[in-house]
Copies of this chain bind each other. A is one copy, B any other.
Amino acid sequence: MKITIIYDTKTGNTKRMAQAVAEGAEGFEGIEVIMKHIDDASPEDLLSEGLVIGSPTYCGLMTWKLKKLFDESVKTAWGKVDGHIGAAFSSSGGLGGGNEISLCSILTSLMNYGFIVFGLTEYAGRGVTAHYGAVAVGDPGELEVKACRRLGEKTAEYVSRMFGGNRKEE
């Protein structure tokens, strides 16, 4: 089983979030974790049992490069990933700047492909959660990083349950 984390980044903030998601997803038996910058991603990456997409918030949506990957992977992966697990994360320049709405854009394309998508109910700490995926305003702080880690971990848990793998090695 594979979890692929694909991210775009402008200032490095979204990349830091991607790393935290990857850390959270690692350590589950039978699950390989791959992290790719959008420039290195290919349509085959969308076939992973777990797919977490991260984008800086650009005009309230994922970046055009990430959208291009979805648009151009239809032949390879669309409709072939029913029941695979999807999630999202996004970093914006400001509170109220669109990071949650950007998550929605990612979840929309993931659902379109057949992924089942989720967020976290729990709080990473006071005032920070990830109900529709993980977000950060500017440089992700400790709690935002924790939310990203938990998002990765939860992705791995769900992949394990849907695809027969085992639970995290304690």
Contact = CB atoms under 8 A, between A and B. Distances in A.
Interface of A: 58-65, 67-68, 70-72, 74, 78-79, 82-83, 85, 93-101, 104-105, 108-109, 111-119, 121-123, 127-135, 137-138, 144, 147, 154, 157-158, 161-162
Nearest to A69: B64
A133 B96 contact: yes
Given A105-B105, A128-B96, A147-B96, A64 B67 contact: yes
A30 to B, nearest CB: 16
A52 B144 CA distance: 31
Contacts of A111: 60, 117-119, 131-132
A112 B98 CA distance: 8
Nearest to A83: B158
A85 B116 contact: yes
Contact of A158 (B70, B72, B116, B154): B116
B100 A101 contact: yes
A135 B72 CA distance: 23
A128 B147 CA distance: 21
Contact of A129 (B59, B97, B128, B162): B97
A161 to B, nearest CB: 6
B96 A132 contact: yes
A144 to B, nearest CB: 8
Contacts of A123: 94
A117 B95 CA distance: 19
